[in-house]
Amino acid sequence: MLAKVLLTLSVVLTLATVAWWVWDSIDYGKPLLLSKTAREVVIVEHDRLFGQEIKRVELQPGRWLGLFDAAPPFGAVPLCGLWLGLGALGLWLRKRSQMHVS
């Protein structure tokens, strides 16, 4: 029973982490290899006096999941490795329980 729960949890968490990374990459505007805490936003204003466009860059704070961060907050690959480790533990428990049943 515990083995099935660990396997199911492993698959669900791995798919959720990959979906989170894809969602954050789409929201940020490009595939993220490293996590980001801010993104550049270009603001275009029109100067009435001189009739010119003024472009300025501001940082928008946020949290976007990267792919390869090994330090907290972890990236998608280390998290998926952890979830797959849970799945491997589930497989090991399942194999171990089947060996003792016979």
How do residues 42-84 score in pLDDT, each as one tens digit?
Answer: 999 998 888 899 999 999 998 899 999 877 778 999 999 999 9
Residue 76 covered by a domain:
yes
Whole-number pLDDT of residue 74: 87
Short-list 28, 6, 2, 24, CA closest to 85: 6
Look up residue 23 and give its two tokens: 């969602």
Residue 22 covered by a domain:
yes
Full residue range of the structural domain in which residue 90 is found: 2-35+65-101
b/e burial code for range 56-82 (CB count within 10 A of at least 16 → b): eeeeeeeebbbbebeeeebbbbbbbee
Q: Which residues pair with 52 in a beta bridge?
A: none
Residue 53 covered by a domain:
no
Residue 47 covered by a domain:
no
Residue 97 covered by a domain:
yes
Helix, strand, coil abundance in the chain, percent, nearest 5: 50, 25, 25
25-52: average pLDDT:
90
Residue 72 covered by a domain:
yes
| Number of domains into which the chain is organized | 1
Tell me the Ramachandran region of residue 51: left when phi exceeds 0, alpha when psi lies from -120 to 50, beta otherwise. Answer: left
Short-list 4, 3, 6, 25, CA closest to 84: 6
Residue 73 covered by a domain:
yes
Residue 43 covered by a domain:
no
